[in-house]
A and B are shown apart, each in its own frame.
Chain A
Amino acid sequence: MNCDCPASNREKPGFRNSSLVLGWSKDGGNLGLRTINYLNRKLEGQEFAEIEPERFFSLGGVAIREDLARFPESKFYACQEHELVLFRSDFPEAEPYGFLNSVLDMAVRHCGMKELYTIGAMVSFSAHTTPRQLFAVVSLEEMKEALSQYDLVGDTDYETPPGERPTLNSFLLWIAKRRSIPAVSLWVPIPFYLAGREDPQAQRKGLSFLNERLGLKLDFDDLDAEIRAQNQQLARARSGFPQVDDYIGRLESNLRLSEEENAELVRRIEGFLRAGG
């Protein structure tokens, strides 16, 4: 261990000018986790450090998900060829400020991080056939200028509504701003009826941007095949269930569904996809 942040650190990647891409588990459509896993797989990322959990997680037993006992994980991976650091983690349950600073400490002090990217899902009441947009919120004006050439929605005005709290990505962006780190929080809308499953089209949108911005030279044939397969499944769901077709058709026409209709659409689609379509 060679780090004064609460992270264990196995073999430093030796980067001097890296970018950090960060995703959280339990994101809508598992977008953050799937994006990091995809990059890790394609770029052959090597785990090199993790944040010790005892300060940030309750550790009062283990959670069980998909039949398996899970333990909180907060891991860093290095992709040597592109000076890219990936971080994927569960949401910290305690001391979020300390946790987020630990992430930045590791990336800045030990990996020479110069830019930070977070990716997250935004649940949307649009149909899956609606083209995905990519929203960007930045920490510094200079980052906004640097991103102006990309296909991003970058002029959002927003205020957290009463009764809600800012996201962890917003908290991280704010800390980055205080530390003068150029950072961008990327948000991809995911149709609400896919938020509990996965949305490869949303994943593709975020990854396409990162590919271009970070010069990763990725091909997305596998992801495109996933998108086609899911679109076919959803088309079968529409042809098999007139009610599903009606609901999605109304969303395509920019009409809102009632709460009951929303819930019914989620139930039908999730059940259909779970059963293999």
Chain B
Amino acid sequence: MGVRFLYEVQLENPVLVASWPGIGNIGIITVDALRGMLGAEEFAEIEPWDFFYPRRALLSTGILQHLEFPGSRFYFKRTGRKDLILFVGEEQPREGGRAYAEGKKAYHMANLVLDVAEELKCSRVYTAGAAGALTHHTMKPRVWAVPNSESLIPEIRGYENTVLMSDIEGGGGQGNITGLNGLLLGVAKRRGLEAMCLMGEIPVYLQGLPLSYPKASKSVLEVLCRSLNIDVPLGKLDESAEEMERSIEEFYRQIPAEIRGQLDRLKDVTYARPAEPGPITDEEKRRIMEDVETFFKKRGEGV
């Protein structure tokens, strides 16, 4: 079980941006879109067979030709400033039927990813993911940033459209990031590497649905590009975001008017500091969530 290099690369002061699938596939769409926009080249992959069950067999004239596993691939792009290493994990290694990676396999995969990062003298690690938020799908998603070192906080405060956990009303600077998008931060800290996770907001009423939310990926990508000081055309993400928005609107219209009315109030939510009363009270938030949960339970879908 290890990393297989297709060829050796020499990079200048690289940073790693990694992601695995999660809610709304926000993180993985972010990194995969960046990979496509930059034309990054694959140079290594994590051998999959100890982590994953195969997903496709190919037989030809009675001979087993190929067994395909979920990919865990590294790409690179020279930018002239900070070179980039991108890691795209097509699946999180799960144990015991859990929704997200945890335990021995997850820890091992996180270490393999960071082995490559350290071997290439990586100076920083980013992961990307999703944050279920009391927001409306017509609003521009914000980005929640969680660093693994206090020294990164001033820099994060300078990012546009970005909040720290302590900025989120009622959050008190607490929370957790499930799966490898979070675990990698912890393992990086253990190895003395600075890292941050950038999470695009997805409305709480969409986070349990099997849909992608590219609009939030775009928000994450904007922050990431600013942090990396790179310029990429985000037009393609706009197209897929608009397409998804139409599907969401169609779904939204099916929600009973009374619940929709409650959800519409999420358009007024702001990220006021806990000391300042927001436009929706905690009691109202609780009721909105209860109504939404009841509606989705009746439809047999998760929230």
Contacts and interface: CB of A to CB of B under 8 A. Distances in A.
A141 B61 CA distance: 10
Interface stretch (A42-50, A122-130, A166-174): A166-174
A139 interface: yes
B96 A158 contact: no
Contacts of A144: 61-63
B67 interface: yes
B57 interface: yes
A166 B50 contact: no
Contact of A170 (B49, B60, B67): B67
Nearest to B54: A166
Nearest to B60: A157
A138 B55 contact: no
Contacts of B64: 137-139, 170, 173-174, 177, 185
Nearest to B48: A97
Given A96-B53, A160-B56, A165-B55, A174 B67 contact: yes
B67 A154 contact: no
B95 interface: yes
B194 to A, nearest CB: 33
A166 B57 contact: yes
B58 interface: yes
B275 interface: no
B257 interface: no
Contact of B56 (A139, A153, A166): A166
B50 A95 contact: yes
B53 A141 contact: no
A215 to B, nearest CB: 23
Contact of A174 (B54, B60, B61, B62): B54
A156 interface: yes
A136 interface: yes
B50 A170 contact: no
A97 B49 contact: yes
Interface in B33-79: 49-50, 53-64, 67
A218 interface: no
A259 interface: no
Nearest to A100: B49
Nearest to B66: A174
Interface in A189-217: none
Interface string A137-156: 11111001000000001111
B107 to A, nearest CB: 15
Contacts of B55: 160, 165-166
B190 to A, nearest CB: 25
Contact of B61 (A94, A155, A160, A166): A155
A58 B54 CA distance: 20
Contacts of B62: 136-138, 144, 153-156
A156 B56 CA distance: 16
A174 B95 CA distance: 22
Given A166-B67, A174-B64, A159 B56 contact: yes
Q: Which of B53, B59, B96 has the most CB of A within 10 A?
A: B59
B63 A98 contact: no
B105 to A, nearest CB: 9
A157 B59 contact: yes
Contacts of B67: 166, 170-171, 174
Interface in A55-77: 58
Interface in B153-173: none
- Pairs A-B, 9 closest by C-beta atoms: A166-B57, A154-B62, A174-B67, A158-B59, A160-B56, A97-B49, A170-B57, A166-B54, A173-B64
Interface of A: 58, 93-98, 136-141, 144, 153-160, 165-167, 170-171, 173-174, 177, 185
7 contacts: A93-B96, A144-B61, A154-B62, A166-B57, A170-B57, A173-B64, A174-B57
Interface of B: 49-50, 53-64, 67, 95-96
